[in-house]
């Protein structure tokens, strides 16, 4: 899906995947937050932050949290939702080109990496390798069913992350509906 495709979904429905009401999302968010660790995180990055539902649960653990999404409508909703968290900066941009170049001790990629084209995934991992500090954590979680709008499956993305020599796995969950990996920067 392109950025325009995502934007069209958010224009048609401000919560097109039911982030704020879905039992699946609540379960996945709880598992993702647990995989992040207790924090305190000095500088966290959430790729594909959407309307900020997960961001809102992560924000209290962060001194600084940047969320990035390519859909203007989603970014607008997230900015409103997160307005009470001054440490959060919601930015409109694409991955990896617009990822702010600064060190992070936590990166969360929830249901986003499998939408990237192969060259974009490669470039994103190069950027994250440069920006994630030693001992920093990358938490990736992706819905298991394949979809024609995604170049990769959850299994392919997570297998790729596990093969990255600069990352070491610390936690993995093979749930019925999603895969979750927490990896640390060597």
For residue 43, give the CATH number of its domain: 3.40.50.150
CA–CA separation, 153 and 181 (whole Å): 14
SS3 84: coil
CA–CA separation, 143 and 111 (whole Å): 6
- At residue 82, the pLDDT reads 98
pTM of the model: 0.96
CA–CA separation, 110 and 142 (whole Å): 6
- At residue 1, the pLDDT reads 85
- At residue 61, the pLDDT reads 97
Q: What is the residue range of 67's domain?
A: 3-185
In the chain, which stretches have pLDDT less than 50?
none
Count of domains for the chain: 1
- At residue 127, the pLDDT reads 98
- Count of CB atoms within 10 A of residue 78's CB? 25
- At residue 156, the pLDDT reads 98
């Amino acid at each position: 899906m392109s950025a325009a495709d995502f934007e069209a979904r958010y224009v048609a429905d401000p919560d097109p995947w039911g982030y704020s009401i879905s039992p699946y999302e609540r379960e996945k968010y709880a598992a993702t937050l647990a995989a992040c660790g207790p924090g305190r995180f000095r500088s966290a990055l959430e790729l594909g932050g959407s309307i900020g539902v997960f961001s809102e649960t992560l924000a209290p653990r962060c001194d600084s949290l940047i969320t990035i999404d390519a859909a203007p409508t989603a970014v607008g909703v997230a900015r409103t939702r997160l307005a009470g968290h001054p440490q959060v900066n919601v930015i409109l941009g694409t991955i990896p080109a617009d990822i702010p170049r600064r060190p992070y001790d936590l990166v969360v990629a929830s249901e986003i990496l499998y939408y990237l084209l192969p060259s974009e995934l490669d470039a994103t991992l190069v950027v994250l390798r440069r920006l994630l500090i030693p001992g920093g954590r990358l938490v990736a979680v992706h819905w298991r069913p394949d979809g024609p709008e995604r170049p990769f499956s959850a299994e392919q993305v997570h297998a790729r992350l596990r093969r990255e020599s600069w990352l070491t796995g610390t936690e993995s969950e093979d749930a019925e509906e999603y895969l979750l990996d927490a990896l640390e920067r060597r």
